[in-house]
Structure 1
Amino acid sequence: MNDSTGKKIKILRRQKKWAQKEMAGMLDISVPAYSKIECEITDINITRLIQVAEVLGVEPCTLLPGHNPEDLVKQENLRLKQKIQYIEKEMMYLQAKLIDMYETK
């Protein structure tokens, strides 16, 4: 059995008796863009995966083949950690710049 993300989304959508047009409308995207998600022409990002899962009333991890909730949480934590590190570096740079401005007065 093919348990790809696109196929899971399509099955859940059909269970709710929704057309692709309805699903695309709920996601605020075009029908061709939505169709590409189901056909897996377009890779679905985590933000869109979460949005699709919310519309379908399921946990995002249920849409992923071979993934469990812990893996999804680990991926999101890693992404957030990287974002925090970037912001911390930016803050240090701005603090140094501010100190330099006060010292040159």
Structure 2
Amino acid sequence: MNVIVGNKLKILRKNKKMSQEEVADYLDISQSAYARMESGESHSWASHILRICKIFGITPDELLKLEVNNKEISSGQIFNQLSDTVIEQYEERIRELKKVIKDLKEDKKSLKS
């Protein structure tokens, strides 16, 4: 979620032709603290969300939504999609590891023979 909001902050800031330092000054934080928000390293954007929205003229809901192919997707939908993808990747990795174990057991049996 931090990366999604961070990317959105960066786009909004650049569209307003503002520097990180200008936004940071408005939020009364350091430029490096704001840079961490944009990079997704920090979740402190949540404590500044109303002021951030005021700077960029958006609502909190707009900040937390992502557009994909001109369709708005909520952060919950993104989380669910990412969760499903991660689960599928782990399941595939488990299948691969089971095959490796099976092959190793077969190799061990053939060496004993």
Q: How far 1:45 sits from its partner (Å)? A: 5.1
Q: How far 1:47 sits from its partner (Å)? A: 3.0
Partner of 1:15: 15
1:31-68 CA-partner distances (Å, limit 9, x unpaired):
00000000010113533122211111110111114249
Percent of pairs identical after alignment? Answer: 33
> Whose Rg is larger?
2
Report if aligned partners of 2:37, 2:45 keep a CA contact under 8 Å in 1.
Answer: no
The change in CA–CA distance for 1:18 and 1:45 in structure 2 (over 3 A counts) is closer
- Note the aligned Cα RMSD (angstroms): 2.0
Greater strand proportion? 2
Question: Structure 2-normalised TM-score?
Answer: 0.52
The runs of 5 or more residues in structure 1 that have no matched partner are: 69-105
Q: How many residues align?
A: 66
The runs of 5 or more residues in structure 2 that have no matched partner are: 66-73, 77-113
Partner of 2:54: 54
Question: Structure 1-normalised TM-score?
Answer: 0.56
